[in-house]
Amino acid sequence: NGSLTWISPEGYVIDDAYKTVNGTELGNVAQDMAFCDGMIYVISQNGEGNAVGATFENDGMLVVMDAKTLKKTAAFTREELSGLNWPSHVAVLDEQHIYIRDNAGVYRLDSTTGTLTFVEGSDGAPKSQFVTMNGKVYTYKSGLMSKILEISTESDAVNSISLPWSVTYDINEVLGIQKSDDGKIWIMTFGFGKPAIGKFDPTTKEIKQHLLGVKVSTGSSGVAFAARGNDIYYADNMTIYHLAFDDDKEDDTNEEGD
């Protein structure tokens, strides 16, 4: 079963804090969590079962808890979410717009009715964390015609935003995305042997890029990199790299991360 570790600002650690508070455990193979309106949403891959049919005693596939007390407020079982196939990531805008990525794409869960609705155009959404900002949820499609997929409460269909064709470093593959502090999207890409990090504005569709030292290995987590301000951190196996992204200039010197 899954567990949740709590770390205080002073550095105190409580292992398996969810079980300590509730006396029960999160679902089998916990995958991702999201925060919204003072609540934490945790999605697990298997809920009360696993891939070979074994059953477990836990709180189900999706668990909602108070972000301050960790007290469970709602839960959805594997049976209640039977339309999902190996869910991996979650993003939340409100109780009626809980977005869950699985092997088919992205579904919207209305927790007030328990209804799952497939988000049109999200087929094949990658096993990667969502970006949630400005009242919208973002994921992507990778390939020669890579796109950012924007999802909002206005529709159960994606707004597909094509990445620009004319770029400093070609984009043949998207490795991951993260939210930037200025309302834009960090996007890690790879094309013709050159890995790059870019800051993409989904409104103007402009992107500024900088070359990276290595192609990032995302592994099973789907996490390619982390950002703090304009500092980008990425890894190649056991080596962690840092790049100080400069908003004021394009990367015309082939300067790599250190």
Taking the C-alpha atoms of residue 208 and residue 130, their distance in angstroms, rounded to an integer, is: 21
Neighbour tally for 185: CB within 10 Å: 21
pLDDT tens digit sequence for 191-204: 999 999 999 999 99
pLDDT tens digit sequence for 55-83: 989 999 999 999 999 999 999 999 999 99
0.75 exceeded by the pTM? yes
Taking the C-alpha atoms of residue 199 and residue 232, their distance in angstroms, rounded to an integer, is: 11
Helices and strands in the chain, H and E counts: 1, 21
Residue 213 has a pLDDT of: 84
Q: Is 252 part of a structural domain of the chain? A: yes
Q: Is 197 part of a structural domain of the chain? A: yes
Q: Is the pLDDT of residue 258 over 70?
A: no
Distance of CA 156 to the CA centre of its chain: 19
Taking the C-alpha atoms of residue 190 and residue 224, their distance in angstroms, rounded to an integer, is: 12
What is the extent of the structural domain holding 172?
123-258
Q: Is 160 part of a structural domain of the chain? A: yes
Q: Is 74 part of a structural domain of the chain? A: no
Taking the C-alpha atoms of residue 258 and residue 247, their distance in angstroms, rounded to an integer, is: 18
Pairing of strands 225-228, 231-236: antiparallel
Mean pLDDT of the chain: 92
The enclosing domain of 198 has a CATH number of 2.120.10.30
| Count of structural domains, the chain | 1
Q: How many residues does the chain have?
A: 258
Token pair, residue 127, equals 């096993």
Token pair, residue 119, equals 């988000």
Q: Is 133 part of a structural domain of the chain? A: yes
Q: Is 220 part of a structural domain of the chain? A: yes
Residue 239 has a pLDDT of: 86
Q: Is 170 part of a structural domain of the chain? A: yes
Closest to 194 measured CA to CA, from 171, 226, 223, 218:
171
Q: Is 175 part of a structural domain of the chain? A: yes
Closest to 250 measured CA to CA, from 134, 164, 140:
164
pLDDT tens digit sequence for 130-141: 999 999 999 999
Give 247 or 49, the one with higher predicted confidence. 49
The answer to whether the CB of 149 falls within 8 A of the CB of 137 is no
Taking the C-alpha atoms of residue 114 and residue 81, their distance in angstroms, rounded to an integer, is: 8
Taking the C-alpha atoms of residue 43 and residue 46, their distance in angstroms, rounded to an integer, is: 9
